[in-house]
Structure 1
Amino acid sequence: MKITKNNSRRDHLFYPSLAILISATGFAGFSFTYFGPIIGGSYPPSGIVLHLHGWCFFLWYLLFPVQAILIARRKGALHMRLGRLSIVLAILMVLTGVVVLTVRVDDAMRNGAPQIWLLYGPLILSNLVLFVGFYSAGIYMAIKHRFQSHKRLIIVASSIALGAGFFRLILFLSGFHPLSLPVGVLACSLFIIIGIIYDWATQKFVHPVYWIGLVGMLVVEVSLLPEVNGEFVAWINEGLAPIGKYLSFFYPANPTVGS
């Protein structure tokens, strides 16, 4: 893909703007169910693992638009140094997310509730797995100096990982509905679609990363909807529960916390 000077100028406006939009969506969603109650002192006791997950999420999505702005201002050296910090945050965010998820699934299977973990635990897990895949590919492309692929892979990864935040935003705006969570998760594809539209409008060409990200996200996540593949979802839960039982030492499940 050939990048002209005019396109470079547009990129320096578009990518920071898209990164800010993605991060703002996540912050808005979690402000109602996590950050707001934390600040107000009304969040129930939940253990250090969940808080570590929440604040790593916050810092990663705070760093995300900062990184885009640094590139727009040609601060590549600082961008690369902060990129190493983003790797640490991503690792902690994913590991703590796996702990919380598996413990919740184990608790739900033993108690029969809350149903949301039995229905959508594997879907949430797919967010983490896809994030790891696309984020790792993005880091690899940066190492190889393939920066056009790198920035789009990071857009895809950050969009996919936003499922929980988007779900909470929908929940706050429209109230609870049984499909609020899958709609919130799948709605994150809108950010990838924005990238596709921008590529086509400015280049008359859509980078393959976006197509791979969009199709991969939809195929994996739709296949894990209980309405589509209930038996497979139950089978995955049976595998997650023993892991959660073991990891409960690090995160004792509290039924009052929906995380």
Structure 2
Amino acid sequence: MLPPDAGESMPMELPAEQSRKEPIKPSPRRRFVAYHPQDRNFFLLFLALCWLGVLMGFVPAAELRRTGHADYPAPLILEMHAVAFSSWMILLTAQILLIRARRPLVHMRLGVISVALIPLMTVTAFLSEIYSQTFRVKEPDERAYFAIAIYYVIAFPILATLAIIARKNPSAHKRLILLATTVIVGAAYGRWWSGPLYSLVGDGLLGTLIYSFAAPNLLMLGACAYDWWTRGRLHRVYEIAVPAILLGQIAATLIYHTPGWLPIARFVVGS
């Protein structure tokens, strides 16, 4: 004898019905690993690239000033800005070397200096740029470039302050410091290669973005590529801050190319 239901055909489950019963769950996002053995070498390489830009961008100008051949005299505010900028680079160097030497306590104590250094750098940068703009009269619209300088003055303190706030989160803290440093180092690289890039790409919207921000963007690209290579994903700081930085660059470029900006820049500069 057959069992009671043996002759009956079993209902087949359609794929759609099965998917409704067992919804496909998205795979969880890969966790960001805070530390990787290559981090020590990466941040040392980043530091070397920053110093390369500083030396190539500012040493020739400093030498001209030392020998009395600078385009304009340097008042106290300009000297204060140079000292503050150099102090940031020296502090960054010391902090990276302290971490390599496994001296985190000294690293944290020394980092307190940045609390005073950030506002000093911001104020002296803004006032120094105003002073320098008064001597940039070779081209009738050269003062419009003041918009790019203001972007640097705004972006750096925001990123550096966020880095201090995030100091108890080492992976976020060091990446915010990196981004803040790319902003100010961008100005140094600009002194080095913005002229040749300007001749190559021109002064249109895209050209301005390239010759003004090529260096910081290349440094940011390298940092993002390193995270992707070592972790398989970007840190949350990069996911939020890098698009914000790029939007700021675009905004500054659009302002620079806005005809109504030039009289405003002249008014701010005072001429």
Q: Distance in 2 between matches of 1:191 and 1:236?
A: 32
**1:1-259 equivalences in 2 (<5 Å):** 1-3=31-33, 7-33=35-61, 35-43=62-70, 44-105=72-133, 107=134, 115=140, 117-142=142-167, 145-171=168-194, 174=196, 177=199, 179=203, 182-187=209-214, 188-225=216-253, 229-231=257-259, 233-234=261-262, 237=265, 241-242=267-268, 244-245=269-270
- Mark the CA change 1:80 to 1:97 in structure 2 (over 3 Å): closer, same or farther: same
For these two proteins, the number of residue pairs brought into alignment is 234
Deviates more, 1:154-163 or 1:95-104: 95-104
- Higher relative contact order structure (alpha carbons within 8 Å, sequence separation ≥ 6): 1
Runs of 4+ in 1 over 6 A off after TM superposition: none
Structure 1 gaps, min length 5: 246-252, 254-259
- Normalised by the length of structure 1, the TM-score is 0.78
Structure 2 gaps, min length 5: 1-30
Query: What amino acid does structure 1 have at the position aligned with 2:169?
Result: R
- Mark the CA change 1:114 to 1:82 in structure 2 (over 3 Å): closer, same or farther: farther
- Normalised by the length of structure 2, the TM-score is 0.75
Q: 1:133 Cα deviation (Å)? A: 0.7
Query: What amino acid does structure 1 have at the position aligned with 2:33?
Result: I
Deviates more, 1:17-26 or 1:152-161: 17-26
More helix per residue: 1 or 2?
1
Bigger Cα Rg: 2
Q: 1:215 Cα deviation (Å)? A: 1.6
- Do the aligned partners of 1:199 and 1:207 also contact (CA within 8 Å) in 2? yes
Q: What percent of counterpart residues are identical?
A: 21
Which residue does 1:257 correspond to in 2? none
- Mark the CA change 1:115 to 1:55 in structure 2 (over 3 Å): closer, same or farther: farther
Query: What amino acid does structure 2 have at the position aligned with 1:130?
Result: A
